[in-house]
Amino acid sequence: MVRIMSFDRLQKKIDEMRNPTVVGLDPALEHIPPDILRKHVTEKGESLEAAAAAVVEFNMGLIDSLCDIVPAVKPQSAYYEALGPDGALALKATCDYARSKGMYVIIDAKRNDIGSTAEAYSSAYLGAVTVGGAEFRPYDADALTVNAYLGSDGIQPFIDAAVKYDKALFALVKTSNPSACELQDMLIAGAGDAGAPRTVYAAVGDLLESISHHTIGEYGYSRVGAVVGATYPEEIEYLRARLHHTFFLIPGYGAQGGSAADVARAFDENGRGAVVNSSRAIIAAWKKTGSDYKESARLEALRMRDELQSAIL
């Protein structure tokens, strides 16, 4: 029996909007229009509380302007953690508001550990915490980025939570940073097809498919996706051909150098199976246009959608 699951919902949203885009909500304070930050500083003083309040207002404006054309958002937890406890509340408020607008929410936290610590991380971001007789969903994201490089016992607690609460993961496989090759491209002797060497990143991808094969949903993808950088288009194509049941999250498009033609390699023969991230190019588009930040973000998101459609279809 095929089950509807988290990535099925994401793919359905992508199909309905004809837009495989996720907007990274990475609200560095320099990306927030000065009038928004100034308003909250006036009310609360020069404080982390004021900064966090400005982040929430900024994010809500972006979500309002994008929710009918973009299927998903990806808050990067580092920007919220930098603001301390107030930032944690801002992340929660952002996730809740995005979900209320029908958007799929990926928290980009790249968490990883083993045993009870991994279980605690998964409870925080994907699952629930019980206090007495009450159950609470701390962040209740639809998906979470995780670091797969501790091996299967660092991933399994997150998979268990994803299955229990109908969530999903994106695990680091081939990252977009320039030094990724220092470790990820190393060859493992005799471990690949027919005993041929394979790269570390290919081994990680193979492991993820192996341990998540029982979670495949309607569109043919498991609950464990892969982060694969747009800056390595040949590797994207290789992994797409190798990992038939893995949904891809593609960072590195635009500002980092990945093109629409590069990311098009991440999609299957039906134009499915991947979502492409853009962060500051959309949320800080107002800096280039000089116009309202919400209008500028919407226009840039539409431009990106059209560019991706032309490359994929």
Catalogue the active-site residues: 110
SS3 169: strand
Q: Say which residue the tokens 């060497």 belong to.
A: 197
Q: Is 215 in contact with 162 (CB distance < 8 Å)?
A: yes
Instruction: Tell me the pairing of strands 143-146 and 104-111.
Output: parallel
User: Taking the C-alpha atoms of 161, 165, 171 and 177 in order, what is their torsion angle to the nearest 10 degrees?
Assistant: -120
Q: Is 90 in contact with 56 (CB distance < 8 Å)?
A: yes
Locate 1 and state its tokens: 């029996």
Backbone angles phi, psi at 188, to 5 degrees: -105, 115
DSSP H or E run through 55:
helix 48-66
- Rounded CA-CA distance 33/185 in Å is 41
Instruction: Tell me the pairing of strands 134-136 and 187-188.
Output: unpaired
Closest CA to 207 of 222, 218, 189, 229: 222
Locate 140 and state its tokens: 């209740």
